[in-house]
Amino acid sequence: MGRFHRILEPGLNILIPVLDRIRYVQSLKEIVINVPEQSAVTLDNVTLQIDGVLYLRIMDPYKASYGVEDPEYAVTQLAQTTMRSELGKLSLDKVFRERESLNASIVDAINQAADCWGIRCLRYEIKDIHVPPRVKESMQMQVEAERRKRATVLESEGTRESAINVAEGKKQAQILASEADKAEQINQAAGEASAVLAKAKAKAEAIQILAAALTQHNGDAAASLTVAEQYVSAFSKLAKDSNTILLPSNPGDVTSMVAQAMGVYGALTKGPVPASQDSVSSRSSRDVQGTDASLDEELDRVKLS
């Protein structure tokens, strides 16, 4: 008779003809509704064309039948207005980054408004977001600039790392070279010190052996022979390095030179001079005086020349 009586349950139901009539049939399954494409303005004044898909289910058939005339149309309009409202709170960059949070916000707003209709929105998904051509070109330019920036930064970082590595290598090379020079100088100094010490030891041993030999029988004669040999060797090298020569008065008298050398040796050792050598010493002294006079005359001739 036009008044709500009851809700028919699934299964067998008996209706009284003329009095009972089925007015609304509601499906309790999940319903998929395509939200038409619409325009929305973001927080930074960019106009977008956006559409989506809405998933809902009727939880209370009575409210869905008597609470609203067309529940699907009402929910669709509510989804569109809610989507425009939520997009107006976000900038263009955040629309792409916060897509999931935008979907969750639309679902919460729809559920709060559709509770009195007996309808529950399960989820909302944005399908496509269409950006104006100029904005799309600017976004592409921005992306390209960002990529060039990253490439430049990476290249500069690579150059810096390369320069640091080269400088570090040169530093290590200089340190190693200085350490090698230091070790070489230390080794060279140690070698020279060892050589000097070895020479000193050898000379000391030679002096000891010579002193021991001189104290033996006929040691003076052997020393005289050595001095004579050295005199003859030095006399053979005269006038080889220089043209100016100073000679004694009698350079061929080897005996006098040996006597002088032995006299110097005897004076240093302060030992007794044999009697046989007195005549030689006196003769050598006369020869030395003569030699000095000859040297003075030779010097005068050199000065005059």
d(CA 37, CA 130): 10
Domain ranges of the chain: 30-131
Listed in sequence order, the residues at least 6 apart from 21 whose beta carbon sits closer than 8 Å to its beta carbon are 15
Q: Which two tokens stand for residue 115?
A: 């509770």
Question: Is 273's pLDDT higher than 50?
Answer: no
DSSP β-bridge partners for residue 38: 50
Give residue-wise pLDDT tens across range 181-230. Answer: 999 999 999 988 988 988 888 888 888 887 777 677 666 666 666 766 67
Confidence band for 156, pLDDT divided at 50, 70 and 90: very high
Determine whether 113 is exposed, middle or buried from the number of CB atoms within 10 Å of its CB (0-12, 13-18, 19+).
Answer: middle
Give residue-wise pLDDT tens across range 45-82. Answer: 888 888 889 898 888 888 888 878 888 888 888 888 88
> 32-38 contacts: CB < 8 A, separation 24 or more?
33/72, 33/75, 33/76, 33/79, 35/76, 35/79, 35/80, 35/83, 35/124, 36/76, 36/80, 37/128, 37/130, 38/80, 38/83, 38/84
Q: Which two tokens stand for residue 19?
A: 């009095």
Query: What are residue 265's phi and psi, to 5 degrees?
Result: -60, -40
Any idea which fold 30-131 has?
Answer: Tetrahydropterin Synthase; Chain A (3.30.479)
How high is the pLDDT of residue 266? 65
Say how far residue 300 (Cα) sits from the centre of its chain.
78
Give residue-wise pLDDT tens across range 101-149. Answer: 888 888 888 888 888 888 888 888 888 888 888 887 887 888 889 888 9
How high is the pLDDT of residue 248? 61
Cβ proximity of 56 and 33 under 8 Å: yes
Q: Which two tokens stand for residue 242?
A: 């220089």
* pTM for this model (two decimals): 0.45
Question: Is 179's pLDDT higher than 60?
Answer: yes
How many CA atoms within 13 Å lie on the side-chain side of 23? 15
